[in-house]
């Protein structure tokens, strides 16, 4: 991630991807979305995006690239991924895996906010996964137009606080789902 933000596992819209993310078990936040406006992710090509195919894929965003915690998240995700797929020695994986991790939660993306002017700016500093409590609360300004939360408890997924480009995603909006 180019900006400081909590790590997320992006699993796609299919139930098989959501189950896989919960099986891996980290990071805490699982984001289910239908794709990316800026282009297709590798996770969505071919059998990965086909609900009838056994092929499955996940994308983990570990945090800002140079932060020490990003490396820890990457290693924890890798060891858990290998253990889940049973392609690593289980005892070796168990030695590497940290056990005291928070329970995961699923955030289902409902909307993408696309900047329509070069004057897009957030109403305050957001780093990601903040919950906007009330429908109608102002999240950002796109020129003179207010961008408002469409529903209560709206989660901001990976906001782009700097250098938002016209026509590109500034933030995705989601809901926490119970499982």
Q: Is the pLDDT of residue 39 over 80?
A: no
- Domain edges within the chain: 8-96, 110-177
Domain at 110-177: CATH architecture: Beta Barrel (2.40)
Cα 84 to Cα 22: distance, rounded to the nearest angstrom: 10
Cα 98 to Cα 82: distance, rounded to the nearest angstrom: 14
pLDDT, tens digit, 9 for 90 and up, residues 110-164: 999 999 999 999 999 999 999 999 999 999 999 999 999 999 999 999 998 887 8
pTM of the predicted model, to two decimals? 0.92
pLDDT, tens digit, 9 for 90 and up, residues 44-84: 888 998 999 999 999 999 988 788 899 999 999 999 999 99
């Amino acid at each position: 991630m180019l900006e400081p933000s909590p790590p997320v596992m992006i699993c796609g819209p299919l139930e098989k991807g959501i189950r896989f993310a919960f099986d891996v078990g980290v990071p805490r936040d699982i984001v289910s979305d239908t794709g990316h406006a800026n282009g297709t992710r590798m996770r969505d090509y071919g059998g990965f995006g086909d609900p009838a195919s056994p092929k499955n894929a996940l994308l983990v965003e570990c945090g800002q690239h140079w932060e020490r915690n990003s490396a820890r998240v990457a290693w924890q995700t890798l060891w858990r991924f290998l253990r889940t797929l049973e392609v690593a020695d289980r005892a070796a994986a168990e030695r590497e895996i940290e056990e005291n991790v928070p329970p995961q939660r699923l955030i289902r993306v409902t909307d993408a906010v696309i900047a329509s002017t070069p004057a897009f700016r957030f109403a305050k500093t957001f780093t990601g996964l903040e919950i906007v409590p009330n429908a109608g609360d102002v999240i950002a300004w796109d020129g003179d137009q207010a961008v408002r939360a469409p529903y209560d408890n709206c989660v901001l997924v990976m906001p782009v606080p700097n250098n938002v480009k016209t026509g590109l995603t500034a933030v995705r909006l989601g809901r926490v789902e119970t499982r």
